[in-house]
């Protein structure tokens, strides 16, 4: 566990956005908890993203932030594609569970990198980015919250209202 209060605060923000209780409501992991793969595949109309795609997108960006923080070009995302990776074939229950596990694993890996960061890096400009290290961290937390809200809306639309 980190002893620096700034790192601890960033980890708390990251966790609240992903899978901890928070005053703002449902976090990203909570938004997909118990969701069936068929519901994750539903689209409000052709050409719009579905929940499954959003889950893969969120996992991908956790990977990108981790890669930027570690400055490790050797890191690769375990799925083909970038930003919006393609859905697996077949897109069945087992594949959905694997992709939810992928999201959780990318969060765990990112969190571990953040916990080991020297506090002196927080204000420094990120690698291959104009944003600071701290901005990357609270940015990825904001990204989780944005997509958690999007998923909650898609679930409501799927139910018809």
| pTM, 2 dp | 0.95
Q: What is the tens place of the pLDDT at every residue in 42-89?
A: 999 999 999 999 999 999 999 999 999 999 999 999 998 889 999 999
**CATH classification at residue 122:** 1.20.120.450
Which domain covers residue 51, as residue numbers? 5-158
Closest CA relative to residue 28, chosen from 81, 109, 85, 100: 100
Domain count, the chain: 1
Radius of gyration of the chain (CA): 16
Question: For position 129, what pLDDT does the model report?
Answer: 85
Regions of the chain with pLDDT less than 50: none
């Amino acid at each position: 566990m980190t002893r620096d209060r700034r790192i601890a605060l960033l980890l708390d923000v990251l966790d609240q956005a992903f899978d901890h209780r928070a005053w703002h409501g449902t976090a990203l992991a909570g938004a997909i908890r118990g969701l069936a793969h068929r519901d994750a595949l539903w689209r409000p109309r052709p050409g719009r993203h579905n929940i499954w795609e959003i889950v893969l997108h969120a996992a991908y960006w956790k990977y990108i932030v981790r890669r930027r923080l570690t400055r490790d070009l050797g890191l690769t995302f375990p799925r083909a594609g970038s930003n919006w990776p393609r859905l697996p074939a077949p897109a069945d229950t087992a594949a959905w569970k694997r992709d939810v596990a992928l999201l959780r694993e990318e969060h765990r890996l990112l969190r571990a990198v953040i916990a080991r960061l020297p506090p002196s890096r927080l204000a420094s400009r990120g690698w291959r980015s104009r944003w600071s290290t701290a901005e990357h961290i609270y940015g990825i937390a904001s990204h989780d919250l944005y997509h958690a809200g999007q998923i909650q809306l898609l679930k409501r639309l799927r139910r018809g209202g």
